[in-house]
């Protein structure tokens, strides 16, 4: 026989569990929506990406962080922090920092250096085409 208390507790658990699971997820998972955009889409001018630094640009599906670790080598990352999807800052002294909760990422690779994020930044494939940075 099931008691009224057991029914109410079960109902409460059923209502709370999905919210708890969503709250425990650590940001976005999988491929950046920017990746699904058409190759050749212009993101910005190479001249606007400082060597050893980076710049935030508007991509087709949100902010993209372009970095130029060495002259002529450009990498791009989905600018949303994988922890809470706050837009990260540009690299300072080789470190990308999320202003939301302080996660830190390598300015060259986007790899996680310090949490609370649990993963690095999602890469966005790019190439240099003439004087522009475009989706690859």
pLDDT tens digits for range 4-22: 555 454 544 444 444 433 3
Cβ(55)–Cβ(44) below 8 Å = yes
The pLDDT assigned to 38 comes to 83
Whole-model pTM above 0.85? no
Q: What is the spatial distance between Cα 32 and Cα 107, in angstroms, rounded to a whole number?
A: 18
pLDDT tens digits for range 10-61: 544 444 444 433 333 344 444 455 555 688 999 999 999 999 999 999 998 8
Give residue 40's region: left, alpha or beta (phi > 0; psi -120 to 50): left
**67 falls within a domain:** yes
CATH number of the CATH domain containing 93: 2.102.10.10
**77 falls within a domain:** yes
Q: What is the spatial distance between Cα 17 and Cα 63, in angstroms, rounded to a whole number?
A: 32
Beta bridge partners of 57: 64
**13 falls within a domain:** no
**62 falls within a domain:** yes
**66 falls within a domain:** yes
Structure-model confidence comparison of residues 23 and 104, the more confident one: 104
**16 falls within a domain:** no
The pLDDT assigned to 10 comes to 53
pLDDT at 2 over 90: no
Strand 123-124's sheet: what is its strand order? 54-59, 62-70, 73-78, 123-124
Count structural domains, the chain. 1
Please name the residues in contact with 49: beta carbons below 8 A apart, sequence gap of 6 or more.
Answer: 55, 66, 67, 68, 74, 133
**93 falls within a domain:** yes
**7 falls within a domain:** no
């Amino acid at each position: 026989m099931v008691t009224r208390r057991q029914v109410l507790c079960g109902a409460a658990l059923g209502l709370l569990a999905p919210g708890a699971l969503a709250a425990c997820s650590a940001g976005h998972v999988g491929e950046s929506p920017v990746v699904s955009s058409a190759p050749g889409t212009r993101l910005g001018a190479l001249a606007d990406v400082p060597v050893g630094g980076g710049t935030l640009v508007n991509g087709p599906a949100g902010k993209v962080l372009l970095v130029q670790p060495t002259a002529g080598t450009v990498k791009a990352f989905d600018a949303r922090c994988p922890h809470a999807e706050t837009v990260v800052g540009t690299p300072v002294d080789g470190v990308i920092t999320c202003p939301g909760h302080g996660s830190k990422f390598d300015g060259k690779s986007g790899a996680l250096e310090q949490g609370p994020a649990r993963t690095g930044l999602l890469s966005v494939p790019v190439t240099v085409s003439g004087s522009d940075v475009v989706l690859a």
